Structure 1
């Protein structure tokens, strides 16, 4: 488990943290795409950020909290869950070799999240996976797939 005062300052430390999170998730498969967002007033999912084939550390940290392992789908996160995701990912910010757009976007999402609202994490395991989840469809559209 990662501690609040931990800092990953190098690319190697980021890689080691990612590997640690991945090892801790039985059946883990890196997603082809993932995103995190909230529903607007019309029920449309608005993503804070969409990732296609990139950013494996934020993907596995998000999955650690929401439950994704290897199947396409969506997951609801409470404010507490989203706070935990941000806490787990925050040590990466010490590494200036990378920008941290997911962390920054997710912090802003948390600030804008009303007390009883939820965030929705969406993962696409691979582009051939099918289903009828409207949030997965929204991620496919946002990823231009």
Structure 2
């Protein structure tokens, strides 16, 4: 997936334009209040792991749009199983954003961590959790766990 052919990945303004261009290609897209990529626990604890959470008011919206595009999701409240191939696609699509050195890229670091965990322990599962509105019904245990971190 190529967000735009003449995209400027090196500036915050360019990243914002890319986000808007990708979002415009997602039918019904609504920016979520919060989102994260989660990973099933590696221990006996049922608590999922969220290496990075995009909380309400956060500035990192491009990753959520790119992930939604890969998943065919509209940003509404949902928990979506995430394959390693889908996450690899999202990482590859978002990686050019690292050219912008004036902002941090915590989602890329978190997604790469999740990919490493999936590769080293095939019993673990990953998922994307989107919370469209905090008043929406909880969609899964992972959604409930994410909301407790907010």
Where does the alignment leave 5 or more consecutive residues of structure 2 unmatched? none
Query: Following TM superposition, by how much is the alpha carbon of 1:115 offset from its aligned partner in structure 2, in angstroms?
Result: 4.1
The structure-2 alpha-carbon separation of the partners of 1:109 and 1:131, relative to structure 1 and needing over 3 Å to count, comes to: closer
Cα distance in structure 1, aligned partners of 2:75 and 2:89: 21
Alignment coverage as a number of residue pairs = 142
Query: Following TM superposition, by how much is the alpha carbon of 1:132 offset from its aligned partner in structure 2, in angstroms?
Result: 4.6
Cα distance in structure 2, aligned partners of 1:130 and 1:50: 19
Given that residues 68 and 75 in structure 2 are in contact (C-alpha distance below 8 angstroms), is that contact kept between their aligned partners in structure 1? no
Question: What is the SS of the residue equivalent to 1:68?
Answer: coil
Supply the RMSD in Å over aligned alpha carbons: 2.0
Query: Following TM superposition, by how much is the alpha carbon of 1:99 offset from its aligned partner in structure 2, in angstroms?
Result: 0.7
Q: Hey, what does 1:133 align to over in structure 2? A: 140
Given that residues 65 and 85 in structure 1 are in contact (C-alpha distance below 8 angstroms), is that contact kept between their aligned partners in structure 2? yes
Where does the alignment leave 5 or more consecutive residues of structure 1 unmatched? none
Q: Hey, what does 2:108 align to over in structure 1? A: 103
Query: Following TM superposition, by how much is the alpha carbon of 1:102 offset from its aligned partner in structure 2, in angstroms?
Result: 0.7
Query: Following TM superposition, by how much is the alpha carbon of 1:68 offset from its aligned partner in structure 2, in angstroms?
Result: 2.6
Cα distance in structure 1, aligned partners of 2:37 and 2:52: 6
Query: Following TM superposition, by how much is the alpha carbon of 1:33 offset from its aligned partner in structure 2, in angstroms?
Result: 0.5
Q: Hey, what does 1:123 align to over in structure 2? A: 130
TM-score, normalising length: structure 2: 0.85
CA offset digits 1:50-106 (Å, max 9, x no partner): 111321101111111223314211011111111001011111110011110111111
